[in-house]
Amino acid sequence: MPTNVYDPPALESGTLRVIPLGGLGEIGRNMTAFEYDGKLLIVDCGVLFPEENQPGVDLILPDFEPIKDRLDDIVGVVLTHGHEDHIGAVPYLLKRKGDLPLLGSGLTLALVEAKLKEHRIKPYTMTVAEGQREQLGPFDLEFIAVNHSIPDALAVAIRTPAGLVLATGDFKMDQLPLDGRLTDLRAFARLGEEGVDLFMVDSTNADVPGFTPLERSIGPVLDQVIGKAPRRVIVASFSSHIHRVQQVLDAAAAHGRRLAFLGRSMVRNMTIAEDLGYLHVPDGVLIDYKKAKELPDDQIVYMSTGSQGEPMAVLSRMANLDHAIEPGEGDTVILASSLIPGNENAVYRVIDGLTKLGATVVHKGNAKVHVSGHAAAGELLYCYNILTPRNVLPIHGEYRHLVANAKLAQESGVPAERTILGENGTVVDLKDGVARVTGQLDIGFVYVDGSTVGEITDADLKDRRILGEEGFISVIVVVDAATGKIVTGPEIHARGFAEADAVFDSVKPKIAAALAEAAESGVRDTHALSQVVRRTIGRWVNQRLRRRPMIVPLVIEA
């Protein structure tokens, strides 16, 4: 939750307002609102995946609160690329207003449309490409090619009378990309000559020195591991990492193996990528996973989801022997992805589970099977020197990443007072080449829990954690409505306790005595009596059993 919350002043004429609604101080739910002359432009609308301390939560959305009453003012939603942390919340935004125009590259929009189809939403879309310019209300947009771990990623330059903003989306500067599509540094240089008033730049790897390794450096390692594998090979990666899947396909073909996709999102995304020409499948390599089981073990590669240890994803289910494919002695499992912060424990549990089953697990810690899709410090410095921006707002990263990026900006010559360390809800106003913080909105988490959106609160999650960690006690007492004396009980039931229910026999007289004392004082309200029961047993359990369980007292009048 943001600190020092205060409302910004009314937006002055000729001023561009920028409000990050997600993606600052976290890896996920990227979304930024731009306002000029009464109109809004949205860039990205992604999700954040829950951590272990958020039990039962499926997804976390950006907080739409600041724009919920201004949906008619939105002229468009620009999507920089097709990763979930940039497009995953689009269905939830369009459920509020279904005709918002979506702008993005061909692959990005294809992935969004497939997602929206599951929500029964037919969007209004506009396909854009690098070099293209579009005018949406007061916003003049120019799209620029950037290299990332998914094809067709775009940066967007936003021109208004208040100044020029360059938002990179996620990017790196791979000089030998698999698809030949470089980050367009010539366009960056041209924008630098024009004058970039605000540079909003990916911070994920700002604390990593040097340059991000080439994606193609992964190919030989995958080829070697797959070539030496004695039995089945299972490769887990993000379901949108088309470049990584391409390298696995090529390695499988080189060693005479067939490949089967596992996981609904993997099958869906790779079908889209192949249909659009972004994935090139060698003849005769793909096979349905049901038929793949008929092949000899040394002739198959499975490409699955679950590289982040997600409980319901394919790889986790395999590790728990809850999948049709059960890894065993001699199998090789490759985790070809990075660890998203917060997922470490879940991933290592999966690695341990697979290792116990006899599989050899190859991961980033013991082999070069992943490179990042984000620019490291050396690449960011190149951008700062090419662009020489007047103001910088680091985005997309946890707080340490934002700080590291701000330091790089300052080392390259951006004045400290022009380098803004913001958080979700920070209001930044740009006018006359100067960006300054003018407000801080109260931005919270919006939890998706099954079919429930935004109803689950932090208090509910605290209750769930208590239930999972400390146990549950219910106490039922029937009292006489006239006298307040106990008629039946107290009856105590506990769950999540190693001790037998008999352990609570010694607290029953204490509860009875506390209720008798309350009755003598004239207390008859059942809610007040319930609180007496809660305090009495809570104090006893804390002192005797060193636990703080959830306690649900029920006092009934007879």
| Helix, strand, or coil (residue 14) | coil
Higher pLDDT, 363 or 255: 255
Q: Which of 316-330, 334-348, 406-420 is the least confident region?
A: 334-348
Taking residues 532-558, what's their average pLDDT? 80
- pLDDT for 550 equals 80
Q: Is 81 annotated as a binding residue?
A: yes
Among residues 243, 363, 374, 401, the one annotated as catalytic is 374
| Cis, bond preceding 549 (omega within 30 deg of 0) | no
Q: Which of 110-119, 419-428, 485-494 is the least confident region?
A: 485-494
Is 462 domain-assigned? no
The enclosing domain of 486 has a CATH number of: 3.10.20.580
Q: Is 255 annotated as a binding residue?
A: no
Task: Give 172's pLDDT tier (boundaries 50, 70, 90).
Answer: very high
- 256 shares its domain with 353: yes
Q: Is the pLDDT of residue 254 over 70?
A: yes
Tell me, rounded to whole angstroms, the distance of Cα 520 from its chain centroid: 56
CA distance 540 to 527: 20
- pLDDT for 441 equals 95
Residue with tokens 């207390």: 523
Percentage of the chain exceeding pLDDT 70: 91
Q: Is 363 annotated as a binding residue?
A: no
Q: Is 371 annotated as a binding residue?
A: yes
Please, are residues 522 and 500 in contact by the beta-carbon 8 Å criterion?
no
Q: Which of 69-73, 278-282, 332-336, 522-526 is the least confident region?
A: 522-526
> Among the three residues 362, 395, 420, which one is the final residue of a domain in this structure?
362
- 484 shares its domain with 522: yes
Task: Give 40's pLDDT tier (boundaries 50, 70, 90).
Answer: very high
Higher pLDDT, 49 or 382: 382
Is 99 domain-assigned? yes
> Among the three residues 341, 362, 383, which one is the final residue of a domain in this structure?
362
Please, are residues 166 and 78 in contact by the beta-carbon 8 Å criterion?
no
Give pLDDT tens digits for 95-151. Answer: 999 999 999 999 999 999 998 998 899 999 999 999 999 999 999 999 999 999 999
Sheet architecture: strand order including 59-61: 59-61, 446-449, 452-453
Task: Give 2's pLDDT tier (boundaries 50, 70, 90).
Answer: low
Q: Is the pLDDT of residue 49 over 90?
A: no
Please, are residues 375 and 205 in contact by the beta-carbon 8 Å criterion?
yes
- 266 shares its domain with 152: no
- pLDDT for 461 equals 60
| Helix, strand, or coil (residue 217) | helix
Burial class (CB in 10 A: 0-12, 13-18, 19+), 291: exposed
Is 37 domain-assigned? yes
Q: Is 372 annotated as a binding residue?
A: yes
> Among the three residues 362, 389, 405, which one is the final residue of a domain in this structure?
362
Among residues 202, 207, 250, 331, the one annotated as catalytic is 202
Nearest to 481 by CA among 524, 510, 515: 524
- pLDDT for 339 equals 64
The enclosing domain of 393 has a CATH number of: 3.60.15.10
Please, are residues 405 and 412 in contact by the beta-carbon 8 Å criterion?
no
Is 176 domain-assigned? yes
Q: Is the pLDDT of residue 310 over 80?
A: no
Q: Is 86 annotated as a binding residue?
A: yes
Is 12 domain-assigned? no
Q: Which domain holds residue 141?
A: 17-210+372-453
Q: Is 267 annotated as a binding residue?
A: no
User: Across 299-313, 319-333, 453-467, which has the greatest mean pLDDT?
Assistant: 319-333
| Cα torsion through 234, 236, 242, 243, rounded to 10 | -80
- pLDDT for 265 equals 87
Q: Which of 186-190, 220-224, 295-299, 502-506 is the least confident region?
A: 502-506
- 104 shares its domain with 164: yes
Long-range contacts: 183-188, Cβ < 8 Å, 24+? 183/145, 183/146, 183/147, 184/130, 184/144, 184/145, 184/146, 185/382, 185/386, 187/130, 187/131, 187/144, 187/145, 188/144, 188/383, 188/386, 188/387
Q: Which residues pair with 76 in a beta bridge?
A: 41
| Helix, strand, or coil (residue 119) | coil
444 Cβ contact list (under 8 Å, min separation 6): 1, 63, 65
CA distance 435 to 196: 12
Is 416 domain-assigned? yes
- pTM of the predicted structure, to 2 decimals: 0.83
Task: Look up 374 and say whether it is catalytic.
Answer: yes
Give pLDDT tens digits for 361-391. Answer: 998 878 888 888 999 999 999 999 999 999 9
Q: Is 85 annotated as a binding residue?
A: yes
CA distance 13 to 36: 8
Tokens of 188: 């960056």
Is 133 domain-assigned? yes
Q: Is 352 annotated as a binding residue?
A: no
Taking residues 424-428, what's their average pLDDT? 95
- pLDDT for 467 equals 60
- 483 shares its domain with 433: no
Task: Look up 401 and say whether it is catalytic.
Answer: no
Q: Is 530 annotated as a binding residue?
A: no
- pLDDT for 322 equals 85
Nearest to 490 by CA among 542, 553, 551, 546: 553
Task: Give 264's pLDDT tier (boundaries 50, 70, 90).
Answer: confident
- 39 shares its domain with 135: yes
Task: Give 320's pLDDT tier (boundaries 50, 70, 90).
Answer: confident
Give pLDDT tens digits for 518-528. Answer: 777 777 777 78
- 205 shares its domain with 62: yes
Please, are residues 50 and 74 in contact by the beta-carbon 8 Å criterion?
no
CA distance 32 to 425: 9
Q: Which residues pair with 446 in a beta bridge?
A: 61
- 308 shares its domain with 381: no
- 282 shares its domain with 390: no
| Cα torsion through 175, 176, 177, 179, rounded to 10 | 130
Q: Is 219 annotated as a binding residue?
A: no
- 248 shares its domain with 340: yes
Report how many domains make up the chain: 3
The enclosing domain of 329 has a CATH number of: 3.40.50.10710
- 487 shares its domain with 398: no
- pLDDT for 348 equals 82
CA distance 75 to 88: 20
Higher pLDDT, 468 or 378: 378
Is 150 domain-assigned? yes
- 285 shares its domain with 310: yes
> Average per-residue pLDDT in the chain?
88
